[in-house]
Amino acid sequence: MESPILRDGRLPAAFLTPGSSSFTQFLHGLAPEMLPAGRSLPAGGTIDTPHATTIVAATFPGGVVMAGDRRATMGNVIAQRDIEKVFPADEYSAVGIAGTAGLAVEVVRLFQVELEHYEKIEGASLSLDGKANRLATLIRGNLGMAMQGLAVVPLFAGWDLEQQFGRIFSYDVTGGRYEEHAFHAVGSGAMFARGALKKLYGPELTEEQAVSAVVESLYDAADDDSATGGPDLARRIFPVVAVVGPEGYRRMPDAEIGSLVERVVAARLARPDGPSAVPLP
């Protein structure tokens, strides 16, 4: 582990100083240039960067499911067909990202280290609210970049180990943190995904039904939003779907999602607008 941090091989005083159990705070004192916060862009001018799009999440009695499409766009161009935008934040929570892909991935990496670091130093995990608040602080640190057009908007979901149910948190670019009930979506296709989920969601869904509802809603988002990618049957690229419950974070295997997507697409061949809700009598 030869490292620029370790001069003559030994641990510098900063490592041995008792203090914060936050990795971000530690890094801020040691090497602030490594943190996404505090960076600034030269004034004026804009740059084209890949943008990540739609993330949806929905709770069900045994946990919460989060899914993201696989497209990143740069203006009118598809920058990547198989980007992954849903990640495990720790063993009991998931984070999905929309916005500037490069910065968002960096924020997720920092957030993952932050949670694990706290857990190791303190010997106990943060509460789910604590995790959600830490993410808010990281997003707030990116406000300067957001004002210059490089926004990062995450969606956070996890299993609350104390209260034993799944919860969803949404954010704005200023670090505002809002708890969402039942379901939520972020990103350019969110409007359409949320509209679809509104008609498909019910509080008593099983895990399987919840997964199927979020996949349908991503299909609807891709149907109306050009920046959201639909399922790519030719290349076998399917949405990333993660389920978080009392057993922890689990990413659903591509084979399972693949067969679900095939059923959804087959049903859409008969009825392109998808399942219909029953009107009130």
- Mind telling me the catalytic residues? 53
Residues 73-102 that bind other proteins (CB under 8 A): 91
Q: In the bound complex, what is the minimum distance in angstroms from residue 10's beta carbon to other proteins?
A: 4
Minimum distance from residue 201 beta carbon to other proteins (Å): 30
Smaller CB distance to other proteins: residue 27 or 157? 27
Give the whole-angstrom CA distance, residue 245 versus residue 200: 21
220-249 residues in contact with other proteins (CB under 8 A) are 248
Nearer to other proteins, 20 or 133 (CB): 20
- Give the one residue of 58, 110, 145, 155 binding other proteins; rule: CB under 8 A: 110
Smallest separation, CB 92 to other proteins (Å): 9
Among 43, 124, 234, 277, binds other proteins (CB under 8 A): 124
Burial 51-63 (b: 16+ CB within 10 A, else e): bbbbbbbbbbebb
Does residue 109 belong to the site contacting other proteins (CB under 8 A)? yes
CB nearer to other proteins: pick between 74 and 121 = 121
Contacts of 204 by beta carbon, 8 Å cutoff, 6+ apart: 61
Q: State the burial class of residue 72 (Cβ atoms within 10 Å of its Cβ: 0-12, 13-18, 19+).
A: buried
Distance of CA 208 to the CA centre of its chain: 20
Name 117's bridge partners: none
Under the criterion CB under 8 A, does residue 178 sit at the interface with other proteins? no
Q: How far apart are CA 113 and CA 23, in angstroms?
A: 7
Size of the site for other proteins (CB under 8 A): 30
What minimum distance in Å lies between the beta carbon of 170 and other proteins?
A: 26
Smallest separation (angstroms) from other proteins to the CB of 1? 3
- Judged by beta carbon, residue 4 or residue 42, the one nearer other proteins is 4
- Written as six digits, the tokens of 126 are 């943060």
Do 62 and 207 touch, CB atoms closer than 8 A? Answer: yes
Beta bridge partners of 232: 237
- The answer to whether residue 119 forms part of the interface with other proteins (CB under 8 A) is yes
Query: Is 141 in contact with 176 (CB distance < 8 Å)?
Result: no
From residue 217, alpha-carbon distances to 88, 158, 202, 203, 236 in Å are 21, 20, 14, 16, 19
Residues that bind other proteins (CB under 8 A): 1, 3, 5-6, 8-11, 15-16, 18, 23, 26-27, 30, 34, 91, 109-110, 113, 116-117, 119-121, 123-125, 161, 248
